[in-house]
Amino acid sequence: MNLAYTERQRAFRAEIRGWLSEHIPKTPLQSFDTAEGFAQHREWERTLHSGRWSMVTWPQALGGRGCDLIEWLIFEEEYWRAGAPLRVNQNGIFLLGPTLMDYGTQEQKARFLPRMASGEDVWAQGWSEPGAGSDMAAIRCTAVQDGDSYVVNGQKIWSTRAVWADWLFGLFRTAPESKRHHGLSFLLLPLRSPGITVRPIKQLNGQTGFAEIFFDNVRVPLENRLGAEGAGWQVAMATAGFERGLMLRSPARFQETARALAALYQQRKARDGGVDPVLGEAVARAWMDAEAYALSTYATACRLQKGGHIGAESSTNKVFWSELDVRMHETALRLAGPFAELTGGAPLAVDHGHWLEGFMFAQSGPIYAGTNEIQRNIIAERMLGMPRS
């Protein structure tokens, strides 16, 4: 691993910085958990695509730039440093996209990936069901073959952004008598198909970031299956690896949060003339942890580029970044003191309520992408070789 950037990488960084400075919306976009905000973010995806920045690691023929992982990390650093909008299609471009690259047919790649890169199709994830949250092997939603289609029945829940998304990817039981992780298949469904009902679920802030989805004899063409029939678990584990590994939560996200936290600490110190040393230590720890995560990711990227693989260690990544995110936002609210609970519309809200919103979202980090309890079991059994309890 070389810690010095090449001339080409520095030029690439300058190109990104220049493009972002010209194109980032002057007015912050609304939350993509609202209809208006979702439309604004979809438009931002189109703008990114027009500059070929929507998914830089994809092949040019599929809407990308063919960048390597180090260039992707550089892109992410500039993207977060510039304060660019969050990515509304992250389930598609960061999770399903890489899975399609590995398991999709040529027809599926050509059909789905360019529209994903351009923002024409925004994807939601269909893993959780009532009674099958982190334990995906308990999935009961069925997809029974009938001619050249599957007939899907059942329910999914806690599907992020499904209220306004166009497509859903998820696991369905194609062998109804099968148990656990056997007999599952990975299907791709248009959310406007006849027989699908999408019901919004309101969050604590009143916005509809989640949805439950009901399937009533929904017909899905066989050609919409990703991977072999009954091999859905293997495909889904690849998707989960991308979710817990490098792509979904780039280190730049946490480095920028750590810098903002340090700035908040300085503001508090200037205002009050001093801050509890315990909070100062927490800020320093957050900054070091974010930098350590970034260096670790660079090391992993270098190893992958040399033909290595990322396996169970993606679980250590997921535990680390999700708990780091919680600690940083807890520290920020302690620094904000009595103003911490003010929302964005309040005149005295700290950073327009940004930290409070981040704190609420950070609570979900140890839960989604497989709970941290499950990840610790994986680390214990697959990385440390400890016996199953």
Would you name the residues annotated as active-site residues?
243
Long-range contacts at 334-338 (CB < 8 A, ≥ 24 apart): 334/279, 334/282, 335/261, 335/264, 335/265, 335/268, 335/275, 335/279, 335/283, 336/264, 336/268, 337/268
Task: Name residue 133's amino acid.
Answer: G
For 339, the 3-state DSSP assignment is helix
Q: Which amino acid is at 49?
A: H
Tell me which residue of 51, 53, 83, 49 sits closest to 66, measured CA to CA.
53
Distance, in Å, from the CA atom of 192 to the CA atom of 149, rounded to the nearest integer, reads: 17
b/e per residue, 7-39, with b = 16+ CB within 10 A? eeeeebbeebeebbeeeeeeeebebbbbeebbe
Instruction: Using only the alpha carbons of the chain, give its radius of gyration.
Output: 21
Q: Nearest to residue 100, comparing CAs of 229, 160, 185, 188?
A: 188
For strands 149-156 and 210-221, give the pairing.
Answer: antiparallel
Q: Which residues of 254-274 are buried (b: 16+ CB within 10 A; e: fewer)?
A: bbbbbebbeebbeebeeeeee
d(CA 376, CA 108): 35
Rounded to 5°, angle at Cα 156 from 152 and 160: 130
What's the number of CA atoms in the CB half-sphere (13 Å) around residue 248? 21
Distance CA 374, CA 100 (A): 25
**DSSP tag of 129:** B
What are phi and psi for residue 142, nearest 5 degrees? -105, 150
* Partners of 152 in the β-ladder: 143, 218
